[in-house]
Chain A
Amino acid sequence: MIRFLHQGRTVELASPSPDDTVLDYLRDSTRCTGTKEGCASGDCGACTVVTAQLRDGELRYEPMNACIAPVGSLHGVQLITVEELRHEEELHPVQQAMVDAHGSQCGFCTPGFIMSLFAMFHADTGVDRHRVLEALGGNLCRCTGYRPIIDAAMQVLAGPRDDQFSAARDEAVARLASLGQDDDASESGGTYHLPRSVDELAALLAGQPDTRLVAGGTDLMLEVTQGLASLETIADLRQIPELGELTVNEDCIEVGAAVTHRQAQPVLLHDYPELAELIERFGALQIRSRGTVAGNVANASPIGDWPPVLLALDGSVKLVSSEGERVLPLSEFFLDYRKTAMRKGEFIRSLLIPRRRSNLFLRAYKISKRFEDDISSVCLVAALGVEDGLITDARVACGGMAAVPRRSEFCEKQLIGMALADGDITPAIDALCQDFQPITDARATADYRATVAGNLLRRLQLEYRGECATRITMEAEHG
C-alpha cells in the first residue's frame, strides 16, 4: 500500500506495479490528461509534474518527469499536476504569464513548462535569467524558440509568490507529516517494496537478490518505457532515512545512496566549486531533483558524469549486504561495460568523497553536442596536486572514452613532475590518447573524442596560466 496526496485527496494504491509510472497513473487511471507524454524517456519535460514533500520540516516543491518515475515512488508526497493550478476559475500567475507572453503555440509542451515554472515559483526567491534557464532546461519546446517563455518566467517571478498552495501550506505540511507517520501505509506488499531501514533492505536483498533498486528511477525506468521490459520486484530506497543522509566529516563527505544530485550540489560545491559547470550541465533540473549521485555510479554507464569526478577526487563506495559492510575505492568498482564489483545482495550505502586538500588544482570538463541537458561526448576531470608550480600528483579520469569510466595512468605519470604553467603538455596528451580507444556512436566520433580529450588538457594548462579566456558559458555575451 502506498499513500500520497493528489487533488486534495489522499490516494491509496494497494499494490502498485513496478512497471507503472506516474504518467501511466495520471493518464490511464485518473484521466488527468493535462500531463503529456512526449518521449517517455525523461528528455523532453512534457510530462513534468511537481512533488511537494517534507524535508527538514520544510515543504519542498520539485519538478519531476512523470514518465520515468515509478508510481510507487509517490509514497509520502503531495503530487501536483497542471489540473490543480487554476483557482476559482482564475489562471495561476504562472499560467497567466504564459498567456500574456504568448508562451504557447501548439501547447503540447506547455503543461510541462507550467509545472517547471510552478516549482520555481515555490522553490526560489528572486529572479534572474540564469536560474530561469536552469529551471526550464529540461523542457523542450519545438514551436516558440523559448523567448516568450523566458519573458513569462521573468515577469511572473518578479511578482508576489502567493497562490492557493502557499495559502494552504500548513494544512499540506500536516497532512504530509501524518502520511509519513503512518507506518502501515508503507508496509511492503506485492512487488514494489518500500524498506524502511538499511537492515531491512539488506534482508530483502539477501532473500531476493534480483530485486532492482530504485531511488530516482531516471535510468532504471527506461528499461520499461523504452525497452518494454517488465521489472519483477523493486525496492525503493527513498524511505530509508540512512540513505538520505549527507554528512560532512573532517576528512570526507559521505553522500547517502538516496541523495539526489540537487541535494548534493551545494555540499560538493562548497569544497569543489570547480564542479559548478559540470553539475549544471548534468541532465536537467527534473533529473537532478530525482536522480541520485550513487545511482549514476551504480549503473556503471561509461558516459555518466559523476564517476570521472569521483575517480579524480579519489572517492570510494561503501557497500552493504546482509553479510556486512565494505569500502571499495571507486577505481576498483567499475569492472567492465555496465559491470561493477558489487556482489549479489549488495547495495551502495554511500559514496565517500575526500575533503578538499591544499594545493589542489581541479578542473571538470563536460563536452556535449548540446550545451545543456545532454550526455557527455567526453567528460574529463583532472585533480592535480601542484606545489611550487610542479605537479606532485595527478588523477585524470574520463567518461565517454572507454567501456568504463576510468583514469588514465599513463597520462598521470607524464604529468607528475611537470611544471604546469610552462611545461610541455604534449606528452601527457599523447599518453592520454594511448590510454583510451574511444568509440564512434551517435554522439561523437572516436576521433573527436580523442582530439577533445587532448585539447581539454591544453585548456587546463591555459587556465592554470590564466592568460586568456578559455570558456564559453550559457550566457556568453556578444562582443
Chain B
Amino acid sequence: MAELQTPQPQGAAGQQIPHESAAGHVSGEATYIDDLAAPAGCLHAYVGLSTIAHGRVRRLNLDAVRSAPGVVDVIVRDDIPGHRDIGPVFPGDPLMVGEGDTVEFHGQVLFAVAAADYRSARRAAALAEVDYEPLEPILTIEQGLKAESFVRPPHFQQRGDAEAALRDAANTLDGELFIGGQEQMYLEGQVSLCVPEDDGGMLVYSSTQNPTEGQKLVAEVLGLDIHAVTFDTRRMGGAFGGKETNANQWACLAALLAKRNRCAVKLRLARADDMRATGKRHHFLSRFCVGFDDDGLLQGLDLMLAGGCGMSPDLSDAIVDRAMFHSDNAYYIPHVAVAGHRVKTHTVSNTAFRGFGGPQGVVAIEDIMDRIARQTGQDPLDVRLRNLYQAEGGRNVTHYGQTIEQEVLPQLMRRLEETSDYRTRREAITAFNAREPVLRRGLALTPVKFGISFTVKHLNQAGALIHVYTDGSIQLNHGGTEMGQGLYTKIAQVVAQELQVDVDRIRCTATRTDKVPNTSPTAASSGSDINGMAALNAAQKIRRRLTEFAIAHFDVTEDKVTFAANTVTVGERCFSFGEFANLAYLNRIPLSATGFYKTPKIHYDREQATGRPFYYFANGAAVSEVLVDTLTGEYRVTRVDICHDVGRSLNPDLDRGQIEGGFIQGMGWLTTEELAWDDNGRLLTTGPATYKIPAIGDTPPVFNVELLPDSPNAEATLFRSKAVGEPPLMEGISVWCALRDAVASLDDYQSTPQLDPPATPERVLMACEAICRKAAAS
C-alpha cells in the first residue's frame, strides 16, 4: 500500500471512519421519508389489496371507500393516464388490477385511496366490496412445474457430457432440496412522498434502490416525459433488494394521486401489507444427480433449479440465471448440465434479495457436497477442499466458461481451518457427541465464491457529479443509493483520497435523478465498485484541471505540483486546498465535473451459455459450530469464524459490518425465517411476531471475523477493493451445514439428514426423528 503510507488526509480511502450519518442515526436526527415535514395539505394514500390468490374481478364496489370519513380521492385502473403495467424488465405487473382483470396473488393492489390522514386512509381502504370469479391457483413450485407454468423460458448451461459422466461415475447420488424464500424485513417499510411542481413536474421522495427506474415508471404512468419527474433518495432504512423494483408501485400510485389532486401525497405501507404486497427472496427446488469417485471428487452433475417466481417476471430471469451461475459455488465440475426454470405461481412476485439467486445456487451445491462426504465417509471439509477450483490441472474454468484468474479460496480455507482450530474442534465434537445422549454439536466450514457484476451488461455503468466550492468544500453526488451499507462514506473516502482533503470537507448529497441521470440500481454488490469509480473519475478530472492550471499559472513543470493532506504545493508555494480552489476560480477554472465508469471485460453469450459475466469474484469462508437439543430441535450457534476476501479494503470497519450483517442475515434465512401461506395462498407470516429474523441473542457468543490480508484485487478496481455487500450472506450456509452435521451424529455420520431450509427447530427435530427411525430400521 505504498500510496497510503505518505501522510493522508483524515478519512481517506482505507481508513476506518464511522458511517457518514452515524451521529444522525443515534440522535434520531437522520430523517427518513416518513419523517420529512410534508407540505401543507399533504394527503395520505393507502391501497386496497385483493383477498384471493387467483380470480377475475367481476365487480369492484368502492362506494363505501369513497364515502368513508376523510376520504378525498379514490383511483382505479381506468384512472391511469399512461402505462398501466410497471413491470421493470418484462410486462406483467399491473399497477392496479381493475374490473374484468385477473387477480394473480393474494395482496395485489386493486385501488388506492387518498385521505386527510393515514388512519382514515387505511380504514377506508378496508371497506371495498369485491366480487371475484375465483380461479384455481397454482401455489407451489411443484404444482407450477407440473402445469408447465412459467414466467419466462428456461435457460440451460452445460459443459462436457453430464449424462455420460454420471453413467461412468464410481458413485452417484440423487435427491432434492426445497430451499425456502426470505422476507427482506427492512425496518423502514415502503414509502413515497410525491410533491407536484408548478410546471407539471413531479418531485418524488422515495425509499428506493433504483431512483432512475422509479423516475421512468412514474413518468410513464403519468404520461409525462422522463425529464418531468425527479426522484430524491437520501437514505433508506434498509432495503436488501426489496426496494430495487418493489419501491416503484408506491411511488407511481402516490404520484398519480398527487397529480390528480394537485397536492402532496404520501403513501406508506403498514408492515403487514408491506409483507403481503411486496416480493421476497425466491424459494427454489433443487433436484440433482451427482457422480463422484471414491474420494468424493466430482465427476458429473445434472442439476435442475426451479425458482418460485410468483406471478410475474419482475427480475426473475436474472435471479434464476444467477442461481445457475453459482450452482458450482467454489467447485470444479468436469461435466455438468444445469437447467434453470422460472416457475409461475399465484403468489406475490418474488424479487431481489441480497445475493439475487446466488445463495440458492450455493446452497444447492453445498447440500450435495455434504451428501458426498457422508457417502464416502469423509469430513465434509475434505470433500470441499478436494473439489475447489485450482489452476493446477486446468481445474479453474467454470461451467459457463469463465476462468478463475485470481485463486483465493484454497489458501483462504486452509488459513481459516488453522485459525479456527477446525481439526481439533472436530475431534472434541465427535467425542462430545459420542457421550451426550440429548445435546449434540455440529461443525461446518463452507466457502463462497461470488461473481461481481450485473449479469445484465448495460447496468454496469455509473455516473457521479462533484462540485468544489471556493472555500475548498466539496459536494459529492453519484448514482448509488445509501441503504445503510456505507456507500456514501466509502465514496467520500475515495474522493478525499484523490483530492487529498479531509473527508469532512466532503458532503454527500441525496441521490437525485436531476444530478446524475440514467443510473443503475444500487444492487449486485456493485455500489462502490461502479459509483466509486465514477466519482474517482470526476475527482481526477478536477485534480487534472487544477494541476494544469498550476502548471500554466506558475509556469512550473508537473512534478512541482503536489496534492497532499489538505494542501496544494506548487514549487515553493504552499496553499490550503481552499485557497487553491479559490485561486483557480478567480482564474476561471471550472470546479465542477461529472464522472463516468463502465465495467470492462464482461460479456456473456446467452445462446451458448458461455462468457465472462463477472469482472471478478469475491471470496470467503466461515466455520460455524452449533449446539442442538435433539429432544426439541432448538439450537444455538455457539461460535463462528469468518475469513473474507474484500481485496484491499476501502474501510475495514464498514466491510466488517457488511460481513457480520450479511452472515447473520444468511443464517436467519436458513434457520428461523420461515414464510408460511395457508391453502388459499394467503401469507400467514405478516409481521415480526410470526416471521422471526435473528434477534440479538442469536449473535454467536464467539464471532471472529478476519479480512483476508494482503489480497488486493487482481483487477484494476477501486483501489483494488472488492465488493462486499452480498457475498458474506452465503457464509451463513455454514450454520445450516453445521446443524445437519449435528443431526448426522445421531447415526454416527452414516447418512445425510434431509433438512430443507429454513432449519427451524421443528425441522431440526423432525430430521432427528427421521434419522433415528432410519438408524433403528437398519
Q: Which A positions have Cβ atoms within 8 angstroms of B?
A: 19, 27, 31-41, 43-44, 46, 81-83, 85-86, 91, 94-96, 98-100, 102-111, 114, 129, 132-133, 136-137, 139-150, 226, 228, 367-375, 377, 441-445, 447-448, 451-452, 455-456, 458-459, 462, 468-479
Q: Which residue of chain A lies nearest to B275 when distances are taken between CB atoms in the complex?
A: A39
B439–A86 contact, CB under 8 A?
no
Contact A142 B665 (CB under 8 A): yes
Dominant SS among interface residues on chain A? loop
Shortest Cβ distance from B21 into A: residue:
A107
B676 at the interface (CB under 8 A from A): yes
B634 contacts A442, C-beta separation under 8 Å: no
Contact A106 B636 (CB under 8 A): no
Question: In the complex, which residue of chain A has the Cβ closest to the Cβ of B486?
Answer: A105
Instruction: Determine if B702 and A33 form an interchain contact, defined as CB atoms under 8 angstroms apart.
Output: no
Most buried by A among B25, B665, B698: B25
Given A40-B271, A459-B631, the answer on whether A107 and B25 have CB atoms closer than 8 Å is yes
- Give A103 Cβ to nearest chain B Cβ, in Å: 8
Residue picked from B428, B441, B685, B696, most chain A C-beta under 10 Å:
B696
Q: In the complex, what residues of A have CB within 8 A of residue B25's CB?
A: 98, 104, 107, 110-111
Choose among B29, B663, B687 the residue that contacts A39 (Cβ–Cβ < 8 A): B687
State the CA gap A441–B683 with chains docked (Å): 11
Q: Which residues of A contact B696 (CB under 8 A)?
A: 132-133, 136-137, 139, 141, 146, 149-150, 372
* Residues on A with beta carbons closer than 8 Å to the beta carbon of B24: 107
A246 to B123, CA, bound (A): 41
Contacts A372-B697, A443-B690; A456 near B631 (Cβ below 8 A): yes
In Å, the complex CA distance between A20 and B632 comes to 41
In the complex the two chains form, is A41's CB within 8 Å of B436's CB? no
Q: Is the CB of A472 within 8 A of B699?
A: no
Q: Is B437 in the interface zone, CB < 8 Å from A?
A: yes
Instruction: Select B28's contact among A33, A41, A44, A106, beta carbons within 8 Å.
Output: A33
Find out whether the CB atom of A452 lies under 8 angstroms from the CB atom of B701: no
Most chain A beta-carbon neighbours within 10 Å: one of B35, B664, B697: B697
Asked if B653 is an interface residue, CB under 8 A from chain A, the answer is yes
Task: Report yes or no: A86 in contact with B27, Cβ–Cβ below 8 A.
Answer: yes
Among residues of A, the one whose C-beta sits closest to the C-beta of B663 is A145
The reply to whether B429 and A104 form a contact with Cβ atoms under 8 Å apart is: no
Contact for B240 among A44, A142, A473, CB less than 8 A: A142
Query: Which of B52-60, B330-338, B398-406, B762-770 is the interface stretch?
Result: B762-770
B126 close to chain A: CB less than 8 A = yes
Given A38-B271, A145-B664, answer yes or no on A106-B235 (Cβ-Cβ < 8 Å): yes
- Inter-subunit contact B27/A85 (CB<8 Å): yes
User: Interface stretch among B152-160, B183-191, B214-222, B715-723?
Assistant: B183-191
Chain B residue at minimal CB-CB distance from A105: B484
Q: Please report the C-alpha to C-alpha distance between residue A469 and residue B632 in the assembled complex, in whole angstroms.
A: 13
Contact A104–B638 (Cβ < 8 Å): no
- Residues from chain A with Cβ under 8 Å of B425 in the complex: 478-479
A145: contacting residue among B625, B661, B769, CB under 8 A: B661
Measured between alpha carbons, how far is A142 from B483 in the docked complex, in Å? Answer: 11
**B residues less than 8 Å from A468 (CB atoms):** 436-439
Which residues from chain B contact A372 at a C-beta distance below 8 Å? Answer: 695-698
Residue of A nearest to B758 (CB): A369
Q: How far is the CA of A441 from the CA of B23 in the complex (A)?
A: 42
Cα(A102)–Cα(B661), bound, Å: 12
11 sample A-B contacts, Cβ–Cβ < 8 Å, listed by A number:
A31-B37, A32-B28, A43-B689, A96-B26, A103-B26, A111-B26, A369-B692, A375-B689, A455-B631, A462-B438, A475-B701
Establish whether residues B761 and A369, one from each chain, have CB atoms under 8 Å apart when the complex forms.
yes
Cα–Cα distance between A2 and B663 once the two chains are bound (Å): 47
CA distance A150 to B549 in the complex (A): 51
- Closest residue on chain B to residue A100 by CB atoms: B18
> Complex formed: what's the CA distance from A133 to B428 in Å?
28
Q: A369–B636 contact, CB under 8 A?
A: no
Q: Digit string of B676-708 for contact with A (CB within 8 Å is 1, else 0)?
A: 100000001101111011111111011100000
Q: Are B687 and A367 in contact (CB under 8 A)?
A: no
Q: How far is the CA of A268 from the CA of B139 in the complex (A)?
A: 48
Q: Measured between C-beta atoms, what is the minimum distance from B489 to chain A in Å?
A: 10
Indicate if the CB atoms of B661 and A105 lie closer than 8 Å: yes
Shortest beta-carbon distance from A476 to chain B in Å = 4
Q: Chain B residues near A81: list those with CB within 8 A.
A: 28
Within the complex, what minimum Cβ distance (angstroms) separates B445 from chain A? 14
> B18, B22, B438, B693: which contacts A469 (Cβ < 8 A)?
B438
For the complex, what is the distance from the CA of A35 to the CA of B185, rounded to whole Å?
18
A36 B188 Cβ-Cβ under 8 A:
yes
Q: What B residues does A39 contact at CB under 8 A?
A: 271, 687-689
Q: Chain B residues with Cβ under 8 A from A475's Cβ?
A: 701
Complex: how many Å from CA A175 to CA B361?
A: 62
Pairwise interchain contact A476-B636, C-beta atoms closer than 8 A: yes
Residue contact A34 to B27, C-beta cutoff 8 Å: yes
Residue of B whose beta carbon sits closest to that of A371: B697
Minimal beta-carbon separation of B586 from chain A (angstroms): 36
Q: Contact: A145 with B699, CB < 8 Å?
A: yes
Expressed in whole angstroms, the Cα–Cα distance for A445 and B766 within the complex equals 11
- B residues 283-338 near A (Cβ < 8 Å) are none
Taking a contact as CB atoms closer than 8 A, the residue among A108, A444, A458 that contacts B631 in the complex is A458
CB-contact partner of B695 in A100, A370, A456, A462, under 8 A: A370
A110-B26 in contact (CB<8A)? yes
Q: How far is the CB of B493 from chain A (nearest CB, A)?
A: 14
Given known A-B contacts A133-B697, A475-B701, A102 and B684 have beta carbons under 8 A apart: no
A377 touches B625 (CB 8 A): no
Would you call A448 and B762 a contact (CB within 8 A)?
A: yes
Asked if B766 and A448 sit within 8 Å, CB to CB, the answer is: yes
In whole angstroms, what is the CA distance A39 to B239 when docked? Answer: 15
Q: Nearest chain B CB to A354's CB is how many angstroms away?
A: 29
B386 within 8 Å of A (CB atoms):
no
Q: Which residue of B has the minimal Cβ distance to A447? A: B766
Can you name the residue of chain B whose Cβ is closest to the Cβ of A443?
B690
Report chain B residues within 8 Å CB of A98: 22, 25-26
For residue A159, give the distance in angstroms from its CB to the closest CB of chain B: 16
* Whole-angstrom CA separation of A69 from B703 in the bound complex: 36
CB contact between B26 and one of A27, A99, A470 (< 8 Å): that residue: A99
List 19 other contacts, CB 8 Å, given A106-B188, A107-B19, A111-B28.
A44-B688, A83-B28, A91-B23, A99-B23, A105-B19, A107-B24, A107-B25, A107-B235, A108-B484, A137-B696, A142-B187, A145-B699, A146-B664, A147-B703, A371-B697, A375-B689, A452-B633, A462-B437, A479-B638
Give every chain B residue within 8 A of A374 (Cβ-Cβ).
692
B698 close to A371 (CB less than 8 A): yes
Given contacts A82-B28, A367-B634, A455-B632, contact A474 B697 (CB under 8 A): yes
| CB under 8 Å from chain A, chain B span 361-377 | none
Roughly how many angstroms separate A110 CA and B186 CA in the complex, as a whole number? 13
Q: Is A107 a contact partner of B30 (Cβ separation < 8 A)?
A: yes
B556 interfacial contact with A, CB 8 Å: no
B223-253 vs A, CB cutoff 8 Å, 1 = contact: the mask equals 0000000000001111110000000000000
What 0/1 readout, one digit per residue, does chain B (20-53) give for beta carbons within 8 Å of chain A?
0111111111111011010000000000000000
Query: Complex formed: what's the CA distance from A111 to B187 in Å?
Result: 12
| Chain B residue, CB-CB nearest to A474 | B697
| Contacting residues, chain A, for B119 (C-beta < 8 A) | 19, 228
A143 touches B428 (CB 8 A): no
For A102, the chain B residues whose CB sits under 8 A away are: 18-19, 22, 653-654, 656-657
Chain B min CB distance to A437 (Å): 18
Shortest Cβ-Cβ A-B pairs, 8 listed: A34-B28, A106-B484, A108-B237, A107-B25, A145-B664, A105-B484, A478-B639, A33-B35
The answer to the question of B389 belonging to the interface, with a C-beta cut-off of 8 Å to chain A, is: no
Chain B residues 587-645 with CB under 8 Å of chain A are 625, 627-629, 631-636, 638-639
Nearest B residue to A448 via CB reads: B762
CA distance A41 to B272 in the complex (A): 10
- Tell me whether B734 is interfacial, beta carbon within 8 Å: no
Chain A residues with Cβ below 8 Å from B690 are 375, 442-443
List residues of chain A with CB within 8 A of the CB of B702: 478
* Interface flag for B760 (CB, 8 Å): yes
Let me know if A140 and B661 touch, CB within 8 A. Answer: no
